[in-house]
Amino acid sequence: MVLVFGGTTEGKLVLAALAAASQPCWYSSKIKIDVSLPAGAQYRYGAFTPEALEAFCLEHHITTIVHASHPFAALLHETIGIVSQRLSIPVIRFERHYPETPLHPLVRYADSYEDVLSAIHHGGYEPVLSLTGVQTIIRWRPYWEQKKMYCRILPRDTSVAIARDYGFPEEQLLLSFPGKTVEEELQVLKETGVQAIITKESGESGYLSVKIDTAIAAGIPLYIIRRPALPPHFIKVDTATDMLKHIIHTAS
């Protein structure tokens, strides 16, 4: 049995590929989502502790894990890494496509949120636009308690509630999905007058190249937080064909 960690565009691709190959699976996401399950697929949701994941894998005879969750799900990376080594279960990491790192002075990669906080403070940028998601608003508190920051979050009641609980000014929330074109994103910059942008290294699924091109076109710095490293024993693939090859190989 295959266990798929999804809740992403890549997770949907994995589900479709497994269905086409008549491969039964369990599909898991951190929060409850609407998911179209093909024949042979079962769904569960909720965060796993290492102990809970180990018990689940043993109970359901999991022989392969396909990890297609968000690249910034660092705790999940760690949990899967621990349990897969304990039980000798191979892990296939279905990777997003990432643009090449551009050599441009306005495109600035950082290893941590703290590094970005230091950079925007010392750079004197205000206002700043955060595209890192509602869960990270708390990380920017040292900035937005003193200076103006806009945060774009998904237009969901749950997201607004989280931002409200953090005490973030609601009038500085931008409720929308990521812009798919440079023109859309430039309009956001024009309306807010921001002097710098913060985002995550979220790949093309997160329209990273659009954000890069937008910052360069606008002439303002873009800070990109690098995605966390994966456990070294994860098998990285970026196509459904390669994923299925590895699943067949581990089953043989």
Give CATH for domain 2-97+229-251.
3.40.50.720
What is the per-residue pLDDT across 115-165, written as a single tens digit (0 to 9) for each? 999 999 999 999 999 999 999 999 999 999 999 999 999 998 989 999 999
- CA 105, CA 40: separation in Å to the nearest integer? 50
Domain coordinates in residue numbering, the chain: 2-97+229-251, 112-225
**Do the domains 112-225 and 2-97+229-251 match in fold?**
yes
What is the per-residue pLDDT across 181-233, written as a single tens digit (0 to 9) for each? 999 999 999 999 999 999 999 888 889 999 999 999 999 999 999 999 999 99
CA nearest to 207, candidates 180, 240, 229: 180
- CA 170, CA 18: separation in Å to the nearest integer? 42
- Note whether 5 and 70 are within 8 A (CB): no
- CA 188, CA 20: separation in Å to the nearest integer? 40
pTM, two decimals, is: 0.85
Is the dihedral angle over the CA atoms 149, 154, 155, 158 positive or is it negative? negative
Q: Determine whether domain 112-225 maps to CATH 3.40.50.1980.
A: yes
- Note whether 194 and 129 are within 8 A (CB): yes
pLDDT surpassing 90 at residue 3:
yes
Two structure tokens written together for 187: 């309009």
- CA 79, CA 203: separation in Å to the nearest integer? 22
User: SS3 of 3, please?
Assistant: strand
